[in-house]
Amino acid sequence: SWHKVREKLKGEVGEVEYRTWLRQIVLGPIEDGELILYLPTRFLRDWVRSQYEERLQTLWRTERADVQGIELQVKRGLPEVPPSADIASDSVVEEVTAQVAVSHEVRSDLAVPLDPRFSFDSFVVGKPNEFAYACARRVAEKPSSPGFNPLFLYGGVGLGKTHLMHAIGSELTKTGNVSVAYMSAEKFMYRFIAAIRSQSTMEFKEQLRSVDVLMIDDLQFLIGKDNTQEEFFHTFNALVDAGRQIIVSADKSPSDLSGLEDRLRTRLGCGMVADIHATTFELRISILEAKAKASGTHVPSKVLEYLAHKITTNVRELEGALNRLIAHADLVGRPVTLDTTQDVLKDMLKAHDRRVTIEEIQRKVAEHWNIRLTDMSSARRARAVARPRQVAMFLAKQLTSRSLPEIGRKFGNRDHTTVMHAVNRVAELMEQDTSFAEDVELMRRMLEG
Ligand code: ADP
Ligand code: MG
């Protein structure tokens, strides 16, 4: 498939550009759904990243289902290293100049191809992202409406910012003759620098100012890059004054992006600011269900629950884990089960593991059975509360080295005989009731890793 990707790239960018920048890419392993591509120098790596990363990623993802993303790394000692190309990153600007001048290949198009998989349809909506989603939909329907310009999306890594921006872009280009430019802030900077060095800043500015919708992803990258910020500020003003739509994403809210110029921050906060919150368990389950369904492979709900409990911060990782399971099941021709899941994802989940504490057991069990955490230590004896509490005690005994009295203390100062009774009772119930046993077993695996 490398061959295919290479040929496609060559066809798209042309022989000269291909030879200048892309010829030296060496294929590495796939790790956690990320395909590693090696380049011989930092300079080449940075340049390829800024100019071709999205394209490479899209091509690879289309080519291979098990590739989620790509990661460009520097590896010394690869064949064919040009002797002068090995430079420190702060002289990248100089090097870009030289290279651009040599190749005469400043790409003139601004539009980065949008990934068709990042659509509104494939975006799973839940409490944490419903506001951002609604704002994105609104802007896609009616760009430049008052109050929604600029649209500023922010949130942690892997929560769907880029997805929503691509979705807006695709929707707009589908429905009308709206010109859309999407690029990362990093690419904006590289383009800007390249334009300065090849003395084509006017062209660059004109191009930027001719679009109807400008999207800049990961704006936090411009922190400390004063000249680029300045240029972005002017572009921003020119576009907004001309009634065009700006969409920006970042990892923090405008007011928390210290290191951006004040006047830029102020203007960024002037339109609609939408926060994508961390995912909830429910949202993670919905996302997994949607992705499993789309894959056509049956994944038991226990497995989905396990993943949603284990991988909590980044949807990309969640998706990567699921894809790995599905790829594995396909390959060995056996269904996905909780057992194979643990086995297949062993190394991946290790990073998430810590020693289990009683507090954590209480939290997870309360979450799973939908009771309040405080009820782990409360005196309430209703079955709906008492049973999960007993399960938590049982797991505390199994998974920690705490003594019965110690465990009792953590559960609202209960007596060690109460803990003992709970442990026996749960064991007994597990014998009698297989679905209860499965629930407890799931909890145990989740906590234990
Ligand atoms: P960010 O740009 O915020 O770091 P991305 O937009 O790149 O995150 O999302 C990471 C991955 O997770 C993408 O593959 C994206 O499709 C997926 N993803 C994130 N949120 C959702 C969601 N709500 N529904 C479906 N997929 C999602
Ligand atoms: Mg992103």
Assign domain 358-448 to its CATH architecture.
Orthogonal Bundle (1.10)
Whose C-alpha lies nearest to ligand 1, atom 25?
Answer: 123
- Buried (b) or exposed (e) across 143-168, using 16+ Cβ within 10 A? bbeeebbbbbbbbeebbbbbbbbbbb
The confidence score (pLDDT) of residue 78 equals 66
Q: Which of 324, 317, 318 is nearest to 287 (CA)?
A: 318
The confidence score (pLDDT) of residue 109 equals 57
The confidence score (pLDDT) of residue 110 equals 62
Q: Which ligand is nearest to the CA of 278?
A: 1
Q: Range with the lowest mean pLDDT among 133-137, 209-213, 353-357?
A: 353-357
The confidence score (pLDDT) of residue 100 equals 39
Question: Which of 121-135, 253-267, 314-328, 422-436 reaches the highest mean pLDDT?
Answer: 121-135
Q: Name 444's Cβ contacts closer than 8 Å, sequence gap at least 6.
A: 395, 398, 399
Whether the pLDDT of residue 358 is over 80: the answer is yes
Q: What is the mean pLDDT of the chain?
A: 86
SS3 213: strand
Q: Which ligand is nearest to the CA of 182?
A: 2
241 C-alpha vs ligand 2 centroid, how far in Å? 27
Whether the pLDDT of residue 304 is over 80: the answer is yes
Helices (runs of H) and strands (runs of E) counted in the chain? 20, 8
The confidence score (pLDDT) of residue 446 equals 82
Write the pLDDT tens digit of every residue in 133-177: 999 999 999 999 989 999 999 999 999 999 999 999 999 988 777
The confidence score (pLDDT) of residue 345 equals 87
The confidence score (pLDDT) of residue 79 equals 54
In single-letter form, the type of residue at position 122 comes to S
Task: Check: CB of residue 309 under 8 Å from CB of residue 364.
Answer: yes
Please report which helix (H) or strand (E) contains residue 444, including its range: helix 434-448
Copy the structure tokens of residue 65.
Answer: 């289902």
Write the pLDDT tens digit of every residue in 50-106: 888 888 888 888 888 888 889 898 887 665 433 333 333 334 444 444 343 333 333
Q: Which residue has the tokens 């008052």?
A: 146
Whether the pLDDT of residue 200 is over 90: the answer is no
Range list of H helices, 279-415? 281-295, 301-310, 315-332, 338-344, 346-350, 358-369, 383-399, 404-410
The confidence score (pLDDT) of residue 270 equals 92
**Residue 415 φ then ψ, to 5°:** -75, 150
Task: Check: CB of residue 189 under 8 Å from CB of residue 205.
Answer: no
Q: Which of 307, 316, 322 to mutate to test the pocket of ligand 1 (most atoms within 8 A of CB)?
A: 316
SS3 429: helix
Copy the structure tokens of residue 317.
Answer: 């990782």
**What is the spatial distance between Cα 199 and Cα 350, in angstroms, rounded to a whole number?**
51
Q: Which residue has the tokens 């390959």?
A: 331
| Cα separation values, 423 from 298, 309, 395, 409, Å | 35, 24, 8, 15
The confidence score (pLDDT) of residue 66 equals 84
45 C-alpha vs ligand 1 centroid, how far in Å? 24
Write the pLDDT tens digit of every residue in 214-230: 999 999 999 888 888 99
69 C-alpha vs ligand 1 centroid, how far in Å? 12
**What is the spatial distance between Cα 181 and Cα 212, in angstroms, rounded to a whole number?**
8
Q: Where are the domains of the chain?
A: 2-85, 127-276, 281-349, 358-448
Q: What is the mean pLDDT of residues 322-332?
A: 90
Question: Which residues on neighbouring strands pair with residue 268, listed in sequence order?
Answer: none
Q: Range with the lowest mean pLDDT among 10-19, 88-97, 200-209?
A: 88-97
Question: Confidence band (pLDDT; 50, 70, 90) for 1?
Answer: confident
DSSP string, 253-273: -GGG-BTB-HHHHHHHTTSEE
Q: What CATH topology corresponds to 127-276?
A: Rossmann fold (3.40.50)
Q: What is the mean pLDDT of residues 346-359?
A: 73
Whether residue 157 has its Cβ less than 6 Å from ligand 1: yes
Q: Residue 82, CB half-sphere, CA atoms under 13 Å: how many? A: 13
Q: Which of 114, 163, 215, 217 to mutate to test the pocket of ligand 1 (most atoms within 8 A of CB)?
A: 163
The confidence score (pLDDT) of residue 197 equals 80
Cis peptide leading into 150, omega within 30 of 0?
yes
Q: Name 331's Cβ contacts closer than 8 Å, sequence gap at least 6.
A: none
120 C-alpha vs ligand 2 centroid, how far in Å? 16
Copy the structure tokens of residue 297.
Answer: 């492979």
Copy the structure tokens of residue 172.
Answer: 């707009």
Whether the pLDDT of residue 318 is over 70: the answer is yes
The confidence score (pLDDT) of residue 88 equals 33
Assign domain 2-85 to its CATH architecture.
2-Layer Sandwich (3.30)
The confidence score (pLDDT) of residue 371 equals 94
Q: Which residue has the tokens 């980044």?
A: 314
- pLDDT top residue among 112 and 313: 313
- pLDDT top residue among 343 and 152: 152
Task: Check: CB of residue 235 under 8 Å from CB of residue 209.
Answer: yes
How many CB atoms are located within 10 Å of the residue 172 CB? Answer: 22
Whether the pLDDT of residue 15 is over 60: the answer is yes
Q: What is the mean pLDDT of residues 178-200?
A: 87
Which ligand 1 atom minimizes the distance to the CA of 124?
A: 24
Q: What is the mean pLDDT of residues 329-342?
A: 91
Copy the structure tokens of residue 42.
Answer: 């930092």
Whether residue 166 has its Cβ less than 6 Å from ligand 1: no
CATH of 281-349, one of 1.10.8.60, 3.30.70.3450, 3.40.50.10320, 3.40.50.300: 1.10.8.60
Question: Confidence band (pLDDT; 50, 70, 90) for 111?
Answer: low
